[in-house]
Amino acid sequence: MIFISSISAAEGREEHNVCSIVLLCSYYMRLIESVPNFSEGRREEIVRQIIEQANKYPKVKMLDWSMDKDHNRSVVTIVGDPDQVLDALFDMTKKAAELIDLRYHKGEHPRMGATDVIPLVPLVGTTMAECVEWSKKLGERIGRELNIPVYLYERSASVPERENLSEIRKGEFEGFFEKIKNPRWKPDFGPEKVHETAGVTAVGAREFLIAFNVELGTNNVEIADKIAKAVRNISGGYRYVKAMGVELKEKGIVQVSMNLTNYKKSPIFRVFETIKREAQRYGVPVVGSEIIGMVPLQAIVDTFSWYLQLDEFSMNRVIEQRLMDEITKD
């Protein structure tokens, strides 16, 4: 296995950012991706202790990690051998439970657990069905050994109403002490009692997800809420978009914070252009955007092609993609 990455320094720390090729692997390699979210985005020393757990495993590579002070949340991207990824995720969850006390946690992003969510995504030589089984294995271990209630979501959901993570998360940490008493919200694994400091955790298999945020030149969060409502699926927007308005107090602006759960059917450029048009209604400019974590190359190529109005442009025209195709030929 060959991992190709660039290392850049930002605010005194090293971050591993994938160039164009994340990895090259042989036909027999088996790889999955996971993007665990932790409810800490202000104390770097805590986040570092959590992510250090993944570095103990030789067949697990950390591709990216980021902190957000306003959201008070960290997002980590790891890939590797399924067995070692599961062990790394368990150790990270254990360390987060030791270091994060949700009774004192405040942030703009909804949360219900110290380790809030753990998705598993099939990459190479693995299937969605396998990821579903691995999510159940990990969830059962977290519940049994850490005494943290676990809910299966997305493709792993035990009942349809648990497919949507936001439905599970409703009420957040504070509301879960009462919510968990309802038979409908009996955990899939672990105790039927919320962990006093670490809350509850969601684990599940899913497709690639793009965390995409658009910043607006205003401090009026109601405008961000209205625009989020216009683009999110649940209120009549795009089928594969989840969105909410968020106040970025440190920057003095607001943000439309989104998850694009299928970038092929709800592409970045279409969602972005809709937000721009909606913002114009309120006399508000778009002042920036950001992607949290990793993004598939195809999503970048699609956006590039659309904005430059390129005819018949495809992944085959990307030199790094062609190099990978040549190197991995039988």
Q: Count Cα atoms within 13 angstroms, Cβ side, for 1.
A: 15
Spatial distance between the Cα atoms of 168 and 176, rounded to a whole number of angstroms: 10
Taking residue 85's Cβ as centre, other Cβ atoms within 10 Å add up to 24
What order do you get walking across the sheet with 286-292 strand by strand?
241-248, 253-260, 210-216, 286-292
Measuring CA to CA, which residue among 154, 32, 19, 13 is closest to residue 83? 32
Place of tokens 């992510």: 51
DSSP at 215: E
The catalytic position among 71, 105, 109, 195 is: 109
Spatial distance between the Cα atoms of 297 and 321, rounded to a whole number of angstroms: 9
At residue 72, what is the residue type? Answer: N
Residue 75: its H or E element? strand 73-80
16 is an active site residue: no
Six token digits for residue 182: 């309802």
Place of tokens 């949700």: 102
Spatial distance between the Cα atoms of 136 and 231, rounded to a whole number of angstroms: 32
Looking at the annotation, which residues are catalytic? 109
